[in-house]
Every structure is written in C-alpha cells, then in structure tokens.
Amino acid sequence: MRSILRYIISFVLLLNVSNVGAQEKKTEEKETKPALLNGLTVQVDIASLAYNLISNGGTYSSEASVQADLKHKYFPIVEVGFGGADKVTADNIGFKTNGLFGRVGVDLNLLKQKEGAKPTNNLFLAGVRLGFTSFLYDISNVTISDNYWGTTEVLNYEKQSATKIWYEIVAGVKVEVIKNIYMGWTIRTKNLLNKNAEGEVSPWYVPGFGVNTSSTWGFSYSIGYRF
Amino acid sequence: MKKTIPIFITLFLVFFIACTGDQECRKNRYVNLQIGFYHSTYNSTKDAYVDASFSVDSLTLQGIKTAETGEETLVDSILYNNQKSVSKLVLPLDKSSEQSKYLVVFNDVSDTITVFHTNYDYYLSLECGCIKTFSIDTVLTTNNFIDSVKIINHDVINVDAEHIKIYN
C-alpha cells in the first residue's frame, strides 16, 4: 500500500518537475558523471496478464522485457512475448493463432537530472520500438453461400503464414518503489508497416501487435527488478 | 487513497472491455452483375453513334442451371417477374460454376444470356468472411430481342458498376 502511494505521489511530482528544475539551477557544480551502464531491469508486464483474465474477446498475450540504463538517459529495451487468439465470430468463422514476438527499441528519459545531485530512479520515458513476429494461423468455416443458385461452399484456410513488422511510439513512467524494485506503465501507438492487400487472406490477430488494423494502441503495466 | 484504487481499477477494466466488443462487418458483400439496355443512335451533330439508355416495358428473368450432364433446368425462383419499366438488370452470378445462364423475356420475346466467368475467392475480414468475385470472359446471347452485347467492365466485384451493355 505504501509503495503504491509512493508511486502515485512520485507520478504527481513528475508533473511539476520542470518548474522545480528552473528554481534550483544554482546548486553546487560538483560533476558526478553517470556511469555508462547503470544496471539492467528485468520486467514482466502485468497489464497483459490481467487482460488475459478479464478478456472474453478470445485473445491472450504475455510479455517480459530487459531494459538497460545508459547514463541515466538512454534506456535500450528488448521486449519478448507470446500471444495468440482463439476466436469464433457471430457467423461461426473460427480464427486460431499463437506465436512469439519481439520488439527492440530505446527510451529516452525526459526528466532533467539535477546537476551533481544523486540521480533519481524515477523516470519519465518516451521512446520507439520496432516490433516483429512470424506466425501461422488458421481461419476455418468461412461460408460462401448463394441464395439464388442455391449453393454453399465452406472454405478453410489452414497453416497460413504471416510475418508482420510494426513500429510503436511509447510514453511511460517508471518508478523505483522499493530498492531495486521498479513499477511503471507505458502507453503506445502501434502502426503496422506491412499490410495485406485487399482480398488476400489476412490474420485477424497479430501476436504482439493486436487485432490487425493498420494502427492500434497498447497499454502495459510492468513490475521489474534491477540487477 | 482508498477510493483511488477502485476508481483506477474500474477505469482500467472499462478501458479494455470497451475495446474488445465483437465487430460487425462494414464492408459491402454484394457482388452482382449489372447489365444496362441501350439503343445505339446516330447523333449528326457529333457525327458519331451514341448510346441511349431505354427501359423494357415488361421483363421476366430466371436463371438456368446447367447440370454436369448438360441438362438444363430453370431455377425455381424468378429474379424479375413481369417487372415494368426495366432499364437495368442486377443479377447474381453462379458462384459454384464458371457459367451463368439466364432466360430473359423482353415483353413477349425470349432470349438467353450466357455469361462465362472465372471465379475468385476474395477475403474481406474475419467479420465479413469471404466473397466471390468474377472476371467475365465471354457473353453469349440469342438474338431474338437482343441485337448485340458489349462487355464494358470485365471485373465483377463488390463495387456498384455496370459490366455489360445490351443493344436492341
């Protein structure tokens, strides 16, 4: 409870930080250059786990990430996960897939550190990701019926393969709640780089991306440990 | 503080559930062959033949199903039943065959129209499923009422467009 309180307060504080920074310009000049690598944080996304529990939309996803801290300014990140879908539409068309996905990217800490002060571990991050996944999917029971000529055809598309690449623009907050334990959230827009042509069989769900529209959004809430 | 957490959780749930509803199909799934009726008339000012649309006073149209044995049977349901003032036909092509044949009665004169086509599966989306689109290869007709035909658009897809002109 206390840690959540601390987390929320720190987030509120972040909003005023730019003003505070302006007032404290003339603090001591002692240069403490941050080290190049200040530890690796291993994080698990809880938002997707919670979503899997409450979702009845037929999709699931889990992911974890490793983020490095370079000079308290650049935060390269690798995110890997597993996602899938098992859905039947109102017209009884079935869609099934699962697959691994990965994203690489970098976040930038937008908070100016006080010069000379001990660097805080509360971060306001903005960054980009490049996502990639390659997976197989099945679409079953696609019915083409003809009322006039009285024919019905059922199509099944099995083991269709797809490779999707997308980019994401990410903003988020990451706070050290207890020593070396981090919590944070991100919100992101996702934009698909390779779309299917009209009329082509295409996957309804893309692991790591979501439901296959040209752009979508994502939310993550992660908990992590810094080594 | 105690109030913040339930509010946060509620917002979180609303946020997600709101976005997971079943989507419905918003694409056009209708694929029909459209045929227009024309007179070709000489326009002296332009010094060229121009097409003028006309309507048939009364029209009856029915599909003819050709079995593999070559036996032809009339489809029970009638697409145009003694309909008045018809200037355009909107017809379903046979999705299970590469040939669609129709018996058309213009006023009292009967003709058959046979359309040969190639069929394609055209996947729309999971919500909309798949439709058949067609490419018209040839059109054959008898020439009792019909003088000639012209294919102006070979691709029959889910877009409203005229494909064939029938001249009288």
Cα gap A194→A163, rounded to integer Å: 9
Cα gap B94→B80, rounded to integer Å: 17
Interior angle at CA A159, CA A154 and CA A161, nearest 5: 120
Q: What is the pLDDT of residue A125?
A: 92
ipTM: 0.71
How far away is chain B from the Cα of A3, in angstroms, using its nearest Cα?
12
Which residues in chain A show pLDDT less than 70?
1-34, 56, 113-119
Mutate to test the interface with B, among A149, A152, A198 (most CBs of B within 10 A): A149
β partners of residue B44: none
Among A128, A14, A49, A155, residue whose Cα is nearest residue B132: A155
E strand residue ranges, chain A? 37-45, 59-70, 74-88, 94-109, 123-146, 151-178, 181-192, 205-206, 210-211, 215-226
Is any Cβ of chain A less than 8 angstroms from the Cβ of B94?
yes
Among B31, B105, B104, B94, residue whose Cα is nearest residue B67: B94
| For chain A, domain boundaries | 2-22+35-226
Tell me the chain B residues in contact with residue A51 when contact means C-beta distances shorter than 8 Å. Answer: 16
Taking only the tens place, the pLDDT of each residue in B13-49 is 555 555 545 567 888 889 999 999 998 888 888 888 8
Q: What is the pLDDT of residue A96?
A: 94
Cα gap A23→A33, rounded to integer Å: 22
Residue of chain A whose alpha carbon sits nearest to that of B8: A8
Contact A50 B12 (CB under 8 A): yes
Which residues touch B34 (CB under 8 Å, ≥6 apart)? B88, B89, B90, B91, B160, B161, B162, B163, B164
Q: Sign of torsion, CA B16 B21 B26 B30?
A: positive
CATH number of A2-22+35-226: 2.40.160.20
Taking only the tens place, the pLDDT of each residue in A86-138 is 989 888 899 999 999 999 999 999 887 666 666 677 889 999 999 999 999 99
